């Protein structure tokens, strides 16, 4: 990796921070003249109402600075493309709603930027490994240059979610689910490590104005970090980003695999870090909630005295269409606990787990878990929460079967959950919504 540069720049509002970071790292060194440029923000999810965006979504301030810098470099063909999580698969135009909510219509009006909702654009088959094909957004494949703008965050399944992980937003639904397969050798980490093969020449600008612990979504814990990391090399930017989050790149399997593929050193020995020193800005971010020693219950629920219940820790096979429900189920169970033990009940998620022989009831969450165990012959009662995403009515019925009454609409009303989470940030001026607006 000799000669690769990564810049760490302290963010100051209205101070051309992106320009300074890009110039220090020469992050636009591969930007062609008259290029067709795609900008990829990180818009994990968009709700039709207030919800905490800090550390979850790329700030609009960094987006505008990037557009202005590209225009200063003579680029006139600029598109912003993203495929946010469709919590409700029937909801249309989720991309346009997020673009409008983040002020991108002003970028369109002022600078001629095109706004592309990946879900409303075509996909093409791309081979990313021998015999492994993914469906990828055609706009990316037709571009001359990508500006990848992830958020500096940790991730409950893969420790850190930065530039390489952000590329998953260019995939169609089937390919995203394929990334969460049950293969122990070629699972999520391996699939993510294939994604750099999709890249045209690119620059990575990691938005660390806000970072988040236990990400990637708004149930994590954000903090104001005021950092921007830039490089022409996505892997190098991600390795530095991991170090800033307090995680050794050697402990992130998809970064290790990517480094092997690119014949690059994972220890940053060949990377020149410019600007701020890593050790001066590094701040450890936890990536997941702790579970008990046998991974059958979160530690905080065990400390509450919950007994007779197993809620097995999710693994990398759990995809984003089940994961919102998992968090809600855990929250409801914790809030409903009155001290009485459960009657040997377990919840199973993902694509690998099998019912435990010592339990009286096994609740299978999601289509994949139901399909995996459709022929189970054990003596325990099997309860299925079918669907992809899982059916809210079946989730409510499953909870009712263990003595917890809840309205099924709770599982589909993510706007309510987002608004509830906003209460955490009252009277905390550092959590400023204006970073997600265009003046």
Task: Give phi and psi for 414, each to the nearest 5.
Answer: -70, -25
Report the CATH number at residue 254: 3.40.50
In a domain, 320, yes or no: yes
Q: What pLDDT, on the 0 to 100 scale, is given for residue 246?
A: 98
55: which 2 tokens? 């550390």
Question: Do 270 and 342 share a domain, yes or no?
Answer: no
Mean pLDDT value of segment 181-186: 94
Question: Do 151 and 117 share a domain, yes or no?
Answer: yes
**Closest residue by Cα to residue 406 from 335, 346, 349:** 335
In a domain, 55, yes or no: yes
Question: Do 248 and 396 share a domain, yes or no?
Answer: no
Q: What pLDDT, on the 0 to 100 scale, is given for residue 48?
A: 87
Question: Do 91 and 180 share a domain, yes or no?
Answer: yes
- What proportion of the chain, given as a percentage, has pLDDT over 90? 88
Q: What is the pLDDT of residues 339-368, one digit of tens each?
A: 999 999 999 999 999 999 999 999 999 999
Q: What is the pLDDT of residues 252-305, one digit of tens each?
A: 999 999 999 998 899 998 899 999 999 999 999 999 999 999 999 999 999 999
Q: What pLDDT, on the 0 to 100 scale, is given for residue 263?
A: 86
In a domain, 436, yes or no: no
Task: Give phi and psi for 13, each to the nearest 5.
Answer: -65, 140
Reported as a pLDDT band with limits 50, 70 and 90, residue 409 is confident
Listed residues 257, 287, 317: the one ending a domain: 287
Question: Do 274 and 387 share a domain, yes or no?
Answer: no
Question: Domain range spanning residue 223?
Answer: 4-287
Question: Do 27 and 134 share a domain, yes or no?
Answer: yes
Mean pLDDT value of segment 127-134: 93
Question: Do 283 and 311 share a domain, yes or no?
Answer: no
Q: What is the pLDDT of residues 1-12, one digit of tens each?
A: 457 999 999 999
Question: Do 263 and 316 share a domain, yes or no?
Answer: no
Q: What pLDDT, on the 0 to 100 scale, is given for residue 1?
A: 46
Q: What pLDDT, on the 0 to 100 scale, is given for residue 419?
A: 87
Question: Do 273 and 303 share a domain, yes or no?
Answer: no
Q: What pLDDT, on the 0 to 100 scale, is given for residue 416?
A: 81
Mean pLDDT value of segment 180-185: 95
Between 91 and 121, whose confidence is greater?
121
How far apart CA 116 and CA 146 sit, in angstroms, is 14
Question: Do 334 and 264 share a domain, yes or no?
Answer: no
Question: Do 273 and 314 share a domain, yes or no?
Answer: no
Reported as a pLDDT band with limits 50, 70 and 90, residue 414 is confident
- CB contact at 8 A, 184 and 317: no
Q: What is the pLDDT of residues 204-260, one digit of tens each?
A: 999 999 999 999 999 899 999 999 999 999 999 999 999 999 999 999 999 999 999
What is the number of domains present in the chain?
2
Reported as a pLDDT band with limits 50, 70 and 90, residue 71 is very high
């Amino acid at each position: 990796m000799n000669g690769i540069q990564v810049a760490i720049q302290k963010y100051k509002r209205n101070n051309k921070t992106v320009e300074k970071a890009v110039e220090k790292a020469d992050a636009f060194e591969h930007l062609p003249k008259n290029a067709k440029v795609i900008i990829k923000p990180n818009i994990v999810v968009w709700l039709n109402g207030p919800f905490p965006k800090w550390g979850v979504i790329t700030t609009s301030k960094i987006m505008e600075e990037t557009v202005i810098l590209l225009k200063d470099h003579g680029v006139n063909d600029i598109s912003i493309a993203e495929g946010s999580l469709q919590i409700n698969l029937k909801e249309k135009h989720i991309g346009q709603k997020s673009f409008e909510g983040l002020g991108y219509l002003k970028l369109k009006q002022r600078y001629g930027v095109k706004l592309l909702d990946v879900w409303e654009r075509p996909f093409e088959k791309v081979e990313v490994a021998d015999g492994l094909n993914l469906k990828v957004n055609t706009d990316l494949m037709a571009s001359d240059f990508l500006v990848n703008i992830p958020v500096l965050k940790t991730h409950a399944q893969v420790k850190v979610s930065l530039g390489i992980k952000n590329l998953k937003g260019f995939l169609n639904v089937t390919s995203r689910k394929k990334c969460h397969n049950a293969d122990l050798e070629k699972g999520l980490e391996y699939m993510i490590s294939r994604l750099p093969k999709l890249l045209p020449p690119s620059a990575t600008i990691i938005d660390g104005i806000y970072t988040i612990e236990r990400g990637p979504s708004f149930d994590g814990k954000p903090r104001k970090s005021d950092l921007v990391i830039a490089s022409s090399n996505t892997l190098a930017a991600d390795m530095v980003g991991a170090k800033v989050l307090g995680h050794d790149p050697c402990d992130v399997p998809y970064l290790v695999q990517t480094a092997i593929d690119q014949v690059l050193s994972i220890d940053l020995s060949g990377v020149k870090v410019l600007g701020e020193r890593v050790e001066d800005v590094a701040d450890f971010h936890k990536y997941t909630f702790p579970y008990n020693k046998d991974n059958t219950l979160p530690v905080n629920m065990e400390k509450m005295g919950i007994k007779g219940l197993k809620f097995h820790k999710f693994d990398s096979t759990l995809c984003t269409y089940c994961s919102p429900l998992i968090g809600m189920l855990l929250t409801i169970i914790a809030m409903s606990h009155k001290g009485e033990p459960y009657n040997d009940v377990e919840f199973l998620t993902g694509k690998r787990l099998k019912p435990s022989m010592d339990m009286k009831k096994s609740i299978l969450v999601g289509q994949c878990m139901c399909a995996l165990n459709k022929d189970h012959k054990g003596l325990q009662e099997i309860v299925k929460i079918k669907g992809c995403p899982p059916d809210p009515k079946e989730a409510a019925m499953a909870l009712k079967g263990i003595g917890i009454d809840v309205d099924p609409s709770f599982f589909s009303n993510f706007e309510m959950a987002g608004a509830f989470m906003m209460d955490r940030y009252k009277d905390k001026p550092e959590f400023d919504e204006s970073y997600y607006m265009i003046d």
